[in-house]
Amino acid sequence: MRTLSIVEFVTLDGVMQSLGSPDEDREGGFDYGGWAAPYGDPILGQRAGSSMQGTTAYLFGRRTYEHMAAHWPYEPDTDPIANHLNSTPKYIVTGTLTELEWAGAEVLAGDPVEAVTGLKAGGEGNITMLGSGVLAQTLFGAGLIDHYHVFVHPLVLGTGKRLFREPAAPLPLRLVDCETTSTGVLLAHYEPA
């Protein structure tokens, strides 16, 4: 049976929206896109790379898939992140897309909880979910996440989509480890308590 990990970049007040570029996700009039750029450093890059080693599949919601598929297939295989993303199976939870152009991408149709439960049962290694905030809310409630890798940036935005929006019940977690980057990002790894 596979495990499911999430990797999320958030601000100190929990905002996960549009971390990569100014126009990544402007929904709700969000004006702070690209907020994570000043916080990159070798420690963060090393942690991101090491998390890929045990990843045997990726899981995305539709919006994250569309954003990723517009970029990573066009990066050279000499980029280790591009190489891993492009060569590893990707499962997309969507009710609107039927055909996917990114090599190795497959639609996970039907009820997301049932589909992800089946995906976890059918293989070895770790499934890694990046971003995918709407899907994350569903999976939190269903108790399907085995590892929470939350990279907390020393920044408060005060607005934007948050990682933990309105959970139906408390979600107790246990800290497994935590490392700090040179730019003050906390690389926290939690598991369900």
| Per-residue model confidence as pLDDT tens digits over 64-74 | 999 999 999 99
Which pLDDT value is given to residue 75? 95
For residue 94, CA distances in Å to 126, 135, 141 come to: 21, 10, 18
List pLDDT tens digits, range 6-15: 999 999 999 9
Q: What is the pLDDT averaged over residues 77-93? A: 93
22: in domain: yes
- Kindly tell me if the per-residue pLDDT of 163 is higher than 90: yes
> Which structural domain range is residue 34 located in?
3-169
Highest mean pLDDT among 20-24, 44-48, 88-92: 88-92
89: in domain: yes
Residue 92 CA, distance from chain mean position: 12
120: in domain: yes
179: in domain: no
185: in domain: no
CA 40 – CA 11 distance, rounded (Å): 14
DSSP code per residue over the chain? --EEEEEEEEETT-B-TT-S-TTS--GGG---TTTTGGG--HHHHHHHHHHHHTEEEEEEEHHHHHHHHTTGGGS-TTSHHHHHHHHS-EEEE-SS-----STTEEEE-S-HHHHHHHHHHSSSSEEEEES-HHHHHHHHHHT--SEEEEEEES---S-S-BSS---SS---EEEEEEEE-TTS-EEEEEEE-
Instruction: Please give the span between the terminal C-alpha atoms of the chain, in angstroms, as a whole number.
Output: 20
116: in domain: yes
CA 23 – CA 32 distance, rounded (Å): 9
Q: Which two tokens stand for residue 72?
A: 């990573």
182: in domain: no
- Kindly tell me if the per-residue pLDDT of 50 is higher than 90: no
Q: Which domain CATH number covers 32?
A: 3.40.430.10
pTM of this prediction? Answer: 0.94
174: in domain: no
- Number of domain units in the chain: 1
